[in-house]
Amino acid sequence: MLRRALSENKVSFGLDEALLEALPEKMDRYFHLYKAAQGTAAVNGTDGAIEDQFSRSFEHTLTVDEYDRVDYTSLNIVQNCEKGDVICRIIAPTKGVPGRTVLNQEIPARDGRAMAPPKGRNTEINEDGTALVATLSGHVEYTSRSFQVKPVLDIPGNVDYSTGNINFLGDVHIHGDICSGFTVRAVGSIYVDGAVEAGTTVEAGGDLMVTKGVVGNNQSVVRAHRSIFAKYLESTHVYAHENLQTDCMVNCEVYCDGSVQVRSGRGIIIGGRTRAAHEVSANVVGAKSECLTSIYLGGLPCEEFERELVQQELEELEAQLEAVERKPNSPNKQSRLSQLRMKLSVSQMKLDQIDKSLEKLMAEREDGKNDLRRLTFGLAYPGTEITIGDCVRRLEQESRQSTASLLSGEICLI
């Protein structure tokens, strides 16, 4: 009777045979509920995963010891790898296991989804698809949602006449100094264990780290499309698209789209002009001699300066074009006009691109909550001039342990 009832209701899967055999003999078989059959639940597959063997991000923080000194050699953010090293493990997804109802109907299960491997330049998936490996020796970096291996150019000594100027499509590690008159450019980061002398140009597509410092004699330019770390900066033109950290700045022209930190070591800013988008923080600003030390806060100094350069180039080309058009017709004139119009078109495209970038960055900054424009100092001497937006304030007396910020249209010390 039990089997006939189950069959009539099409219950055919997961039957409890032991119960069906024993139930007719049970004394309490009536007026009780018994589980005669049970289906199996579907088990979804697990998604694939990526197990990183190298870090994806770095905190560029410098450790200050008990004597308020910073060891600029201890950043150690270069992740060296050898050809064939595993950058990350690729864990494959699993198949789902379908379930069954007591009516012997299938319950579908979802298969796990595969994770897209973060494959970038100079990396490849191994034969069995379980790992992402380096195809050359170099420095591992995570950018634009993928791991890439950048070749590292290792200079065992100084950049001088033995090496010549350096222009490299990766990271550069210089174990000595960059001597006067030489240029070092890299698509990646530049690490200098020594000093940067006067009359040099150093440009990094990533970070720039100078263990000892830069003495520019108003002839050196250091530029980084990310952050700059240096022991000291003297009479140098400095451009940092992110942040700048140093122990001392003297008579420098600084453009920084992030924050300027001069808190370790002497922590002093003397003379020059320091422009920062967010914050300038220093132990001491200015000098007893009351030399003019200018601090500008707000905007995007690097981007705006580059726009000024392109605008100036555009105006010069337009003037040259106008001068050539006034000359008598000749084959040389037509050739020159063609060249100038091409250059003018390229410069205009650059300007349009910078304008779009500025507009986007300013919109993001307005939407964010971290647009803090302020100068924080332990001691500021007379001669310190603070500019925030359109407001300017020049200190007439010593001020200690204060923060200068814009309140109700005026620069106030708090």
Res 321: pLDDT: 86
Res 380: pLDDT: 94
Res 370: pLDDT: 47
Res 175: pLDDT: 93
Query: What is the tens place of the pLDDT at every residue in 213-265?
Result: 999 999 999 999 999 999 999 999 999 999 999 999 999 999 998 999 998 88
- Distance, in Å, from the CA atom of 136 to the CA atom of 90, rounded to the nearest integer, reads 20
Res 313: pLDDT: 87
Q: Is residue 409 pLDDT above 70, yes or no?
A: yes
Res 99: pLDDT: 94
Q: Is residue 96 pLDDT above 60, yes or no?
A: yes
Question: Of the given ranges (208-212, 223-227, 348-352), which has the lowest mean pLDDT?
Answer: 348-352
Question: Of the given ranges (22-26, 267-271, 277-281, 379-383), which has the lowest mean pLDDT?
Answer: 22-26
Res 385: pLDDT: 94
Q: Is residue 279 pLDDT above 80, yes or no?
A: yes
Q: Is residue 77 pLDDT above 80, yes or no?
A: no
Q: What is the pTM of this model?
A: 0.68
Question: Of the given ranges (59-63, 132-136, 237-241, 259-263), which has the lowest mean pLDDT?
Answer: 59-63
Question: Of the given ranges (6-20, 87-101, 140-154, 243-257), which has the lowest mean pLDDT?
Answer: 140-154
Res 76: pLDDT: 53
Res 336: pLDDT: 86
Identify residue 127 by its one-letter amino acid code.
E
Question: Of the given ranges (84-98, 115-129, 345-359), which has the lowest mean pLDDT?
Answer: 345-359
